[in-house]
């Protein structure tokens, strides 16, 4: 059952909100950390409520509001959020104070704000949404599972509007820590990450929400056809092939595969191997040179895919191989570290 | 495909027992697990009672034959999940099997020690103590231990997390995406949560007294509770004889305040009502309610008000088992689901310890003693968390 | 007393992140909770921490909060009384 995208909001290291043409002037970063280009949050939240919101909550609330505004919805029926790291800034603040003050005289606000479900709950509070509210935190599947949940809900009750999203942030502490795991590369041009030799990726962050419905409106809709996640897959090609059994498309029908290539050779090879077997005639594109690598980067990819379908073209900055096919559907094929692979299939409908 | 979702097995570990049989014994003996924290250093060790699993990590790991560097959350989770799978006698690799866990602490018990060195110098601290910090990592460790590939997920909606995990498992089976789901939650005690809740001034310096007029806050606890859910097909083909099935569940949001529940308990009322509607049951069909009942002034009054709105004075037997286990946060829904299933299997209800005087505004008297040999056909369990996340689940006897 | 109230206003704005306000926007007798500034129960807890950090006063019972924190003036009076005790 297709699920229709009625509105989207995206705050990312690219200028992905406002009225700018899609990726008109992509931002190029040096180093190994990308940072979101943020709007004036006063446009989305009353200044008296902003005071208690950390950066990631503001990002999530703003992206959610953008999606609802575009869809013309005031209060959704459900809010589903995916976040792997949760509210890192507040977690770090409370943890640091706990250690520095030897467990005395601790401010409660960072603790309250540190729980993963704070993002989704704050949106619910601001919109007075008393409906279904869920938060997923399964690393590289966090966003996909919020989509799967939304699809299940809409299968049962199509006449609903559901806000589903993926949000993750970088903080000074988290970046220092992640660097020590040796997955980043020093880099002079993030936009050329996947064209340059080298082994390593760049750190990213972002907040994306989609307003979804089980009901079509007019023509020129874009829908989420299917979503699947594979943990620790031993037979990835077969799993990807089987994925299409539950959809209205065959794998040979895929027009564009948006691959979650990262710049880390061993991770990227797995994606390329499957693509070469199953999608030899499809166009190929990439996205992590735009948003960086982080657990909910597939949310950025989903936003991007929907925008590409809307415009019917693939910008140069995204293309890896142009097969000159009309753009009617896009498969996002993502990986996150070794054990996480996921598929999100979008099409026009 | 819809059909029923059966409970094939359960597993639990908490302050009152390291297994199902041990837990039942504690209930029968009215034996609470609340006491002094012993397994880590904190300035609160003499002032804040907790529901601790009285086994250090090294022993837990040894019992399970796993690496002792795993976080405590993962160790507790593996213990309970293994018990549930063994009890179910289901061969997880034969079916489309998923694992859905829930946790709020994740690997924080190790991270908070790592941070002491890391704060002084970002190049210090042992990485292996922080590699499994994320909530989803605990779930990976449990999945790897059980041999579950394919679908794994983790939910974090504060204290309602593991009820939501079980409900998601049921939905995935009803939609024919999975055949078997191991679902529940796990959380370990940590300095982070002890200090966090202490800063909110909602911890009782004495053993907690849920639903009592003189209650003064909650005691934190730790543990894990998992259930194995199976589809009609699995039940038929394996000739399983499950004791009960999941008949209803609901997830709502109170949308009132970040940490406090609305005075009228609108989120909790809606959750209970919707779960009943899904189960096609009336309130009077419920034989026992396992209350969220943390012992805080706010929760118990709000939840009690919601129960009164549903039942008036004709409420069923009800109790909070947190007086036994403490509030196990993200694991509480899973642990208390296991208790609810135990009530159905044993035809018993559990007492609400340390209750003396009803809350004047609602005049509600919970179950005071362990009682067996009674008819228990339908049990409801409530879990309400920060961020207004309210969930209720109903299990029904076969 | 005036200096104490001026200090308190500054500290409250900082502790509660009331960036949209200046000290002169808060009246000495203005109610802080519900109406007036519209503070809530989490803010009350933050004020308890503020008393501890800035004035070394430990308020054991959060139930006393509503009375003590009614206005900047009542907080100042409480601090003065507790410190001379």
Window C:56-85, CB contacts with A under 8 Å: none
Rounded Cα gap, residues C14 and A108, in angstroms? 15
Q: Is B390 an active-site residue?
A: no
Looking at the fold, whether B232 and B307 belong to one and the same domain comes out as no
Q: Which of B294, B106, B324 is nearest to B203 (CA)?
A: B294
Pairing of strands B244-253, B389-397: antiparallel
Q: Which domain holds residue A336?
A: 222-348
Looking at the fold, whether A144 and A205 belong to one and the same domain comes out as yes
Q: Which of A14, A18, A16 is nearest to A35 (CA)?
A: A14
Could you give the C-alpha distances from A75 to A11, A71, A72, A161, in angstroms and in order?
Answer: 21, 11, 10, 8
Task: Report the residue from C17, C19, C45 with minimal CB separation from A108.
Answer: C45
Looking at the fold, whether A205 and A226 belong to one and the same domain comes out as no
- DSSP letters of C1-63? -HHHHHHHHHHHHHHTT-TT--GGGS-TT---BSSTT-B-HHHHHHHHHHHHHHH------GG
Place of tokens 């949000």: A167
> Does residue B280 form part of some domain?
yes
Domains of chain A: total: 2
Place of tokens 């030897």: A102
8 Å CB contact between B73 and B106:
yes
Look at residues A184, A213, A242 and tell me which one is the last residue of a structural domain: A213
> Does residue B90 form part of some domain?
yes
Domains of chain C: total: 1
Q: Which domain holds residue C25?
A: 2-84
Domains of chain B: total: 2
Look at residues B238, B272, B289 and tell me which one is the last residue of a structural domain: B238
Q: Find the closest chain A residue to B134 by CA distance.
A: A85
Looking at the fold, whether A197 and A232 belong to one and the same domain comes out as no
Looking at the fold, whether B311 and B170 belong to one and the same domain comes out as no
> Does residue B183 form part of some domain?
yes
Q: Is B348 an active-site residue?
A: no
CATH number at residue B150: 3.40.47.10
Interface test with A, best of C45, C47, C54 (most A CBs within 10 A): C45
8 Å CB contact between A28 and A221:
no
Looking at the fold, whether A189 and A269 belong to one and the same domain comes out as no
8 Å CB contact between B350 and B343:
yes
Q: Is B292 an active-site residue?
A: yes
Predicted complex ipTM exceeds 0.95 = yes
Looking at the fold, whether A143 and A281 belong to one and the same domain comes out as no
Q: Which residues are paired to B185 by β-bridges?
A: B225
Looking at the fold, whether B337 and B288 belong to one and the same domain comes out as yes
Looking at the fold, whether A182 and A266 belong to one and the same domain comes out as no
Looking at the fold, whether A171 and A116 belong to one and the same domain comes out as yes
Could you give the C-alpha distances from B123 to A91, B109, B148, B263, in angstroms and in order?
Answer: 19, 20, 35, 48
What are phi and psi for residue B83, nearest 5 degrees?
-60, -40
Q: Which residues are paired to A111 by β-bridges?
A: none
Residue by residue, pLDDT tens for chain B (398 residues) are 578 999 999 999 999 999 999 999 999 999 999 999 999 999 999 999 999 999 999 999 999 999 999 999 999 999 999 999 999 999 999 999 999 999 999 999 999 999 999 999 999 999 999 999 999 999 999 999 999 998 999 999 999 999 999 999 999 999 999 999 999 999 999 999 999 999 999 999 999 999 999 999 999 999 999 999 999 999 999 999 999 999 999 999 999 998 889 999 999 999 999 999 999 999 999 999 999 999 999 999 999 999 999 999 999 999 999 999 999 999 999 999 999 999 999 999 999 999 999 999 999 999 999 999 999 999 999 999 889 999 999 999 99
Looking at the fold, whether A103 and A172 belong to one and the same domain comes out as yes
Catalytically annotated residue among B135, B159, B348, B390: B159
Whether C45 sits inside 8 A of B259 (CB atoms) is no
Looking at the fold, whether B212 and B284 belong to one and the same domain comes out as no
Whether A105 sits inside 8 A of C52 (CB atoms) is yes
Looking at the fold, whether A54 and A195 belong to one and the same domain comes out as yes
Looking at the fold, whether A207 and A272 belong to one and the same domain comes out as no
> Does residue B1 form part of some domain?
no
Nearest CA to CA, how far is A261 from chain B (Å)? 21
pTM over 0.95: yes
Rounded Cα gap, residues B90 and B181, in angstroms? 11
Looking at the fold, whether A9 and A126 belong to one and the same domain comes out as yes
Look at residues B210, B238, B266 and tell me which one is the last residue of a structural domain: B238
Rounded Cα gap, residues C82 and C57, in angstroms? 8
Could you give the C-alpha distances from C67 to A155, C9, C34, C63, C77, in angstroms and in order?
Answer: 52, 18, 13, 9, 11
Looking at the fold, whether B252 and B234 belong to one and the same domain comes out as no
Q: How many CB atoms lie within 10 A of CB B277?
A: 12
Q: Which domain holds residue B303?
A: 247-397
């Amino acid at each position: 059952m297709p699920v229709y995208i009625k509105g989207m909001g995206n705050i990312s290291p690219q200028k992905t909100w406002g009225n700018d043409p899609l990726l008109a002037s992509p931002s190029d970063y040096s180093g190994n950390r990308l940072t979101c280009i943020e709007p004036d949050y006063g446009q989305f939240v009353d200044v008296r409520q902003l005071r208690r919101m950390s950066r990631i909550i503001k990002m999530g609330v703003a992206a959610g509001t953008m999606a609802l505004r575009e869809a013309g919805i005031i209060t959704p029926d459900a809010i589903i959020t995916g976040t792997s790291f949760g509210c890192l800034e507040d977690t770090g603040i409370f943890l640091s104070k706990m250690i520095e003050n030897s467990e005395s005289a601790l401010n409660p606000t960072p603790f309250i704000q540190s729980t993963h479900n704070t993002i989704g709950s704050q949106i619910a509070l601001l919109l007075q949404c008393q409906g279904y509210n869920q938060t997923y935190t399964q690393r590289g599947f966090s966003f996909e599972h919020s989509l799967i949940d939304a699809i299940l809900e809409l299968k049962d009750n199509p006449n609903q509007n559901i806000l589903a999203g993926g949000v993750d942030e970088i903080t000074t502490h988290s970046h220092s820590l992640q660097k020590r795991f040796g997955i980043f590369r020093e880099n002079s041009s993030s936009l050329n990450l996947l064209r340059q030799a080298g082994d390593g990726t760049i750190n990213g962050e972002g907040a994306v929400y989609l307003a979804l419905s089980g009901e079509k409106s007019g023509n020129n809709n874009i829908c989420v056809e299917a979503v699947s996640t594979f943990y620790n897959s031993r037979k990835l090609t077969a799993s990807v092939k089987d994925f299409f059994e539950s959809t209205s498309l065959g794998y040979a029908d895929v027009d564009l595969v948006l691959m979650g290539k990262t710049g880390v050779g061993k991770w990227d090879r797995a994606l390329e191997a499957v693509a070469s077997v199953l999608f030899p005639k499809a166009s190929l594109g990439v996205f992590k040179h735009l948003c960086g690598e982080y657990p909910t980067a597939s949310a950025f990819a989903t936003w991007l895919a929907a925008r590409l379908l809307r415009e019917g073209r693939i910008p140069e900055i995204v293309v890896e191989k142009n097969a000159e096919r009309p753009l009617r559907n896009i498969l996002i094929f993502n990986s996150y570290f070794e054990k996480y692979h996921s598929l999100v299939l979008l099409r026009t409908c | 495909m819809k059909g029923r979702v059966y409970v094939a097995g359960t597993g639990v570990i908490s302050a009152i027992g390291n297994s199902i049989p041990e837990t039942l014994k504690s209930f029968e003996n009215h034996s609470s697990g609340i006491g002094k924290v012993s397994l880590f250093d904190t300035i609160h060790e003499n002032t804040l009672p907790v529901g601790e699993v009285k086994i250090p990590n090294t022993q837990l790991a040894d019992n399970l034959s796993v690496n002792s560097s795993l976080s405590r959350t993962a160790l507790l989770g593996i213990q309970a999940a293994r018990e549930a799978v063994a009890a179910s006698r289901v061969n997880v690799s034969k079916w489309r099997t998923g694992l859905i866990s829930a946790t709020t602490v994740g690997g924080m018990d190790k991270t908070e020690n790592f941070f002491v060195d890391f704060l002084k110098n970002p190049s210090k601290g042992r990485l292996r103590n922080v590699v499994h910090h994320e909530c989803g990592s605990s779930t990976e460790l449990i999945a790897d231990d059980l041999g579950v590939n394919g679908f794994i997920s983790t939910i974090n909606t504060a204290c309602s997390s593991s009820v939501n995990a079980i409900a998601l498992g049921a939905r995935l089976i009803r939609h024919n995406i999975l055949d078997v789901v191991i679902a529940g939650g796990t959380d370990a005690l940590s300095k982070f949560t002890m200090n966090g809740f202490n800063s909110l001034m909602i911890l009782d310096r004495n053993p907690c007294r849920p639903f009592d007029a003189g209650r003064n806050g909650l005691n934190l606890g730790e543990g894990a509770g998992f259930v194995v859910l199976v589809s009609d097909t699995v039940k038929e083909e394996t000739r399983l004889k499950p004791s009960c099935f999941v008949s209803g569940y609901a997830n709502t949001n109170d949308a009132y305040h970040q940490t406090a529940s609305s005075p009228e308990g609108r989120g909790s009322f809606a959750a209970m009502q919707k779960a009943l509607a899904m189960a096609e049951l009336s309130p009077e069909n419920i034989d026992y309610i396992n209350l969220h009942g943390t012992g805080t002034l706010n929760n118990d009054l709000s939840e009690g008000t919601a129960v009164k709105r549903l039942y008036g004075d004709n409420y069923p037997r009800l109790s909070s088992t947190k007086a036994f286990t403490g509030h196990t946060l993200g694991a509480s829904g899973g642990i208390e689901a296991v208790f609810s299933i135990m009530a159905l299997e044993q035809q018993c209800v559990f007492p609400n310890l340390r209750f003396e005087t009803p809350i004047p505004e609602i005049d509600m008297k919970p179950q005071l003693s362990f009682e067996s040999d009674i008819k228990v056909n339908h049990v409801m369990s409530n879990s309400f968390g920060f961020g207004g996340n309210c969930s209720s689940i109903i299990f029904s006897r076969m | 007393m005036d200096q104490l109230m001026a200090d308190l206003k500054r500290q409250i704005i900082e502790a509660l992140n009331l960036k949209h306000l200046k000290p002169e926007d808060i009246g000495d007798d203005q109610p802080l909770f519900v109406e007036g500034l519209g503070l809530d129960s989490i803010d009350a807890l933050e004020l308890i921490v503020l008393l501890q950090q800035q004035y070394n006063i430990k308020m054991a019972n959060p139930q006393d909060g509503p009375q003590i924190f009614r206005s900047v003036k009542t907080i100042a009076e409480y601090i003065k009384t507790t410190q001379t005790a």
